[in-house]
Amino acid sequence: MKTTRRTLLAGIPVLMAAQVPAQPPLLKLPRKIRVAMLGFEGHQSEVLEPARRIPDIEIVAYHDKLPQQMQRSARSMGSAKPYDDYRRLLDVEKPDLVCINNWHAERAEVIVECLDRKIHVVAEKPVATEWKDLERVKKAVEKGPAKLTAELNMRYTPPYMALKQIVDSGELGEIVQIDSQKSYKTSNRNPWWYKRATYGGTIPWIGIHMIDNMMFTTGRNLVEVFSYQNRIGAETGEMENVTDSMFKMDNGGLAVLRMDYLRPQAASSHGDDRLRLAGTKGVAEYMAATGVTVVSAKGSRVVTELPAAQSLFVDFLNHVYYGKPISLTWEQIYRGTQIALAARDAAEEHRIVKV
C-alpha cells in the first residue's frame, strides 16, 4: 500500500509505541528541549516523527480542545501529561517549544500567546485566517526573541526540491507560466472544519501549500489574484470542495492553482498534487504518476536522482539553537499567508485583489 500523509498520521500511535531499530540521531541539541503539543488537527507528524530520532527532544505535555481528540492522541503521547487548558499547560510546564495544530481560526491567538511567553513555535498553516490576526502574529514574531515556523512541508520534499534546482540552473529560462493542482479525497472531520468561521476556507488551508511551493521553486512573487470557489455535490457544509485561482507573477507571467475535494475514494492515494513550470527555454513538471520530467534544449528526460528529503523540524531546530540559515523564513510564511488570504478574498468578494 502506498504511504500517504493520512496513513502516516494514522500510524503514529503504533510507530511511537513499537520498538524501532536503532537509527542515528537526526540532530544533537545543546540541551534537553521540552516540547508541548497544542492540538492534533494537522501536520503534527512534522514534529512527532523526527522527534523520535532526536534524543534531546522530550514531549512533556499535550492539549486539544476536543475530549475525543485528547483520548485518541493519548496513545501516541507516552508519558506526556494531558491538560484541558493550554494556558495552564504553559504556566505549569514552561515548554521551550510548542507544536500548534488547533482550530484554524483560533491558531493566531495561541501563536501570539506562546511567542509573548518567549516560547518557540512550530504552527500548522495558515498561521492566521484573518488579516487582523496575521498582523498580530507578525508583530509578535518581530518583537522576538521567540521564533516561528509553519508546517509548509512540501518545499522539503524531493520532487519540489528537484524542480527548484532545475529552475535555479537556468535550463528553463525565465518562468512565465505555472500550473498547479491539489486534489484530495473527502473524509470525516470534526464539525469545526465545516464552518467558515472556524475553518477559514479551503484556499488558506490547502492552497497555501502550493502558493508557497510555486514561489519556492521559481523564485517568483505572486502580486495579483482572482479566484472562484464553491461547494457542489458533497456534504462538506461551508467547506469549499472546488476552487480555482489565477495569479499574476511579478514578471507579468501567469500562475493557476486548481483544487478540489473530489478525488474518488477508490484512488490509490489520498491526494494528487501536481506542479508544472513553463519557462522561455523549457518546461519541468511533477506528478506522482510520471515523477519529475523536463523538456528543454537538452532534450526530454525523467529526473531519477532526486535530492534527499529534509525535515522542516530539524531545519527549524538548527536555526533556533545553532543560528543556521533556514529554508522557510518568516518573511516567506508571512507573504504566503497574505497571498492565500487575498485569493480567498477574491473568491468571496468577486474581485481582482492586488497583494
CATH number for the domain spanning 124: value is: 3.40.50.720
The domain tally of the chain equals 2
Residues 129 and 183 in one domain: no
Long-range contacts of 7-11 (CB under 8 A, 24+ apart): 7/270, 8/45, 8/49, 9/44, 9/45
Sequential DSSP letters for 62-108: EE-SSHHHHHHHHTTSTTPEEES-HHHHHHHH--SEEEE---GGGHH
Q: Which of 151, 172, 191 is the last residue of a domain?
A: 151
- The predicted-structure confidence for 196-205, as pLDDT tens digits, reads as follows 999 999 999 9
Residues 231 and 347 in one domain: yes
CATH number at residue 159: 3.30.360.10
Q: State the chain's mean pLDDT as an integer.
A: 94
Q: Which of 111, 128, 151 is the last residue of a domain?
A: 151
Residues 77 and 104 in one domain: yes
Higher pLDDT, 1 or 214: 214
- Percent of the chain whose pLDDT exceeds 90: 91
Residues 129 and 238 in one domain: no
Residues 102 and 160 in one domain: no
The pTM (predicted TM-score) of the whole model is: 0.92
Residues 177 and 321 in one domain: yes
Residues 291 and 165 in one domain: yes
Residues 200 and 330 in one domain: yes
Domain that holds residue 118: 5-151
Q: Which of 129, 151, 173 is the last residue of a domain?
A: 151
Residues 183 and 142 in one domain: no
Q: Tell me the average pLDDT across 69-95.
A: 95
Residue ranges in 144-278 assigned as alpha helix (H) = 158-168, 196-199, 202, 208-218
